[in-house]
Structure 1
Amino acid sequence: MRLIPLSVTAVLLLSGAAAQANTEAEGLAQVKAFTLEHNAALIAEAAKMAEAAATYRTIVQNAGGDYAAAWEANAAEITAAIEAMRAQWLAASNQYETIEGIVAGIPSTAKYDLILDAGNPGTEAEDVAEYDLTLPDGTVLQRPGSLFHTITEPLFWGTDAAHVKLAVDLNGDGLTGAGEALFDADLAQGAAAAMVQWATALEADMAAWEPNRDDAFTAVVTMTPTVGDYFGEWKESQFLGGEGAAFVAQSRLIDVLGIMGGCQRMYVAAIAPVVAPEDAALDGAITTGFEDLIALVDETREREAAGAIFSPEEADAIGGEAQDLAERIVAQVLQAAAKHGVEIKG
């Protein structure tokens, strides 16, 4: 039996959930409930990750901060803690990607996307994650970048060379392969705890969000055309032979399915009830556009999972096709927005 990633499952379940929305108000309420449901799961998975990180740090502390001594005395326990951190990272990430297309597109919650998933460090000129990270030893890292992809993923999978402490044989095959390393325990625990903190803050702001038409249209218009950027990240990732430190835990295409699925959900549940009664043809075109876009990403992901090797040129071509579909959708949604006096924010 083929295991379906969480983000894909959310897409497959979309039609049944959205079909229940007969009115705009019902659809908006469904989107909010869906987001809060996955936000709660995100917090729960991140909390488990933080527990594993705390266990790992305690082992290192008990060895006086000597990573080699900690490994020699507690190899099995350390391996279990790292495996748990990675497993919970994947679970938390998939929960977030399922709602990213909604969270990042709503003006009042967009800042959390930069902090949790997509923001740059303060050394960059734009899209900076506006927060500081305090570590258990009291060290404060100013504007360190997103918690998922700038900090924890490169840390847990050993692609953050600056914080690798010791190369070890984690899988017990007698070799020290890529990603088999002990890493900075203070950074691991601090970042994992911060993920719980900021996911909880997101939950509070999402609970306070009053769903409205302008935000729904804004989310779809803002997030749908980002698909081309994600394909660019996929092309540069290690899944296609690149050397990127992020997007190593799983294919970026899994994330894309979750993000575009969120955009599709917002349209079908909350916007289609506005568009369809007055312009069934336009609604049909937008609905088909989303179906085609997600089918393209899903097909590409299935080919990748089956062992297909994509050249950079092929990745660019598929990304270009996805971007064309996305831009067509956005143009049509903007047409609908104009008809209904919608203000696109941001």
Structure 2
Amino acid sequence: MSKKLNKRGQASALAMALLAALSISGEVSAATDAEVRGLASVKQFTLDHNARLIAQAQLLETAVADYAAIIKAHKGDYQAAWNADKKQLARQIETIRTLWLETSNQYETIEGIVAGIPATAKYDLILDAGNPGSESEDVAEYDLPLPDGKVLKRPGNLFHGITEPLFWGMDEALVKLEVDLNGDGKISRGEMLFDANLGLGAAGALTHWSKALQADMSAWKPNRDDAFTSVVTMTPTVGDYFGEWKESQFISEEIGAFVAQSRLADVLGIMGGCKKMYFSAISPVVASNDAALDQQIKNGFEELLSLVEDTYAREKAGTQFGTEEADALGNEAQDIADRVVAMVLQAAAKNEVTIRG
């Protein structure tokens, strides 16, 4: 996680430096109806998906509670629970994984916006990208209370740091019992019963922090500086997402992070959010005094999303990418993103936009 977040910090620092260096003179455009409508549409888009995120998180929390109830009925004896209710437990874990994916994907759809806006960026650390307190930077600043009364101090982000490893058995320390979930007569990695206490606490936290995000997003007053900052901060992270894809089981075939689905699915959501912010909220500003530059930036976003969409479609169709090809695709995506950001910074300077660190 830290590489991605470090990249975000580097992107902000680079943006500030480039913006200062450009010093482009020009008429500063006042807010137009198109810009105001665009900013409002970005906020509404984010709130709509945030509401779906909350709804899915609540369903996930209920599903985990049902799983925990089975374990509790057997006095916390996972072996006894499995012996008595193996079919129900297997179905429940399948349901939990399906709901987790639906919940995570709702967040990924808005992550490119949430993580780039200074007023809401902290929620990205908590929900999806922050490090545990053992790291020196980009720490998710929250504690996780558990039903048994324990409190985990700064445990890391909820989606990829806690719940995904928990629900898919990626962290052996959290596996309570290895079992044959699919009934094929053998036990493979990820076939297990997970820690119900941690699952309940983490699922409840997903609901809690999704609601907190909704409150702060509702209070956010859309503005030009935040819109530019969001795009400049998040678009250059694409190469690191490709790096995470390369290191996942979808390329390396080794169980590690990001096992629930291909990281490319997340990239589509995140970069789609960046595109939404530019096309809706920033394009009216840029086009007002440089239509050619605006079109170049739009073309860049289309090229970037097309590359990700094509790569993901090939993967889903059965293409097995090697590490060298994954690297090449990541470098290509990064080159496009850097080119787009350079142009957005040019437009920011022309319109006296402040990129917030």
Q: What TM-score range do you get, normalising by the shorter chain?
A: over 0.9
Match of 1:37 among 48, 62, 65: 48
Structure 1 residue corresponding to 2:84, chosen from 73, 87, 107:
73
1:199 aligns with 2:210: yes
Contact 2:252–2:323 (CA<8 Å) still a contact in 1?
no
Larger relative contact order (Cα-Cα within 8 Å, sequence gap ≥ 6):
2
Partner of 1:131: 142
Q: What amino acid maps onto 1:307 in structure 2?
A: G
Partner of 2:292: 281
Any idea what SS the aligned residue of 1:166 has?
A: strand
Give the Cα separation in 2 of the matches to 1:132 and 1:62: 28
Q: Tell me the amino acid that sits aligned with residue 239 of structure 1.
A: F
Q: Deviations over 1:32-90 (max 9, x none)?
A: 00000000000000111100111111111111111000111111221122111101100
Aligned with 1:182: secondary structure? strand
- Residue 101 of structure 2 aligns to a residue in which SS? helix
**CA displacement, residues 231-279 of structure 1 (integer Å, 9 cap, x when unaligned):** 0100000111253532100000000000000000000000000011211
Give 1:221's aligned residue.
232
Residue 232 of structure 1 aligns with which residue?
A: 243
1:106-125 equivalent positions in 2, closer than 5 A:
106-125=117-136
Q: Hey, what's the Cα distance between the residues in 2 that align with 1:58 and 1:336? A: 56
8 Å CA contact 1:155, 1:163 repeated in 2: yes
Distance of 1:223 and 1:209 partners within structure 2: 18
Q: Deviations over 1:127-167 (max 9, x none)?
A: 11111101110111111111000100011111111100111
- Residue 246 in 1 paired to residue 271 in 2? no
Are positions 1:150 and 2:161 aligned together? yes
1:127–1:243: structure 2 CA closer, same or farther, 3 Å change rule? farther
What is the Cα deviation at residue 22 of structure 1? 6.3
Inter-partner Cα distance in structure 1 for 2:88 and 2:99: 16
Counterpart in 2 of 1:305?
316
Distance 1:94 1:258 in 2: 8
SS in 1 for 2:82: helix
The one-letter amino acid of 1:276's match is A
TM-score, structure 2 normalization: 0.90
| Structure 1 unmatched ranges of 5 or more | 1-20
Does residue 332 in structure 1 map to residue 343 in structure 2?
Answer: yes
- 8 Å Cα contact 1:97/1:259 also seen in 2: yes
Q: Normalising by the residue count of structure 1, what TM-score does the alignment of the two structures yield? A: 0.93
2:174 is equivalent to residue 163 of structure 1: yes
Distance in 2 of aligned mates of 1:276 and 1:71: 62
User: What displacement does 1:209 show?
Assistant: 0.3
Question: Tell me, which stretches of 5 or more residues in structure 2 are unaligned?
Answer: 1-31
1:178 match = 189
**Pick aligned residue for 2:65 from 51, 54, 71:** 54
The residue type paired with residue 148 of structure 2 is: D
**Partner of 1:121: helix, strand, or coil?**
coil
CA contact (8 A) 2:127 2:158 kept: yes
Does 2:199 correspond to 1:188?
Answer: yes
Q: Secondary structure at the match of 2:132?
A: coil
Distance in 2 between the 1:53 and 1:125 partners?
32
Amino acid of the structure 1 residue aligned with 2:306:
A
1:243 alignment partner, SS class = coil
Q: Which residue identity is paired with 1:28?
A: L
- Moved >6 Å (runs of 4+): none
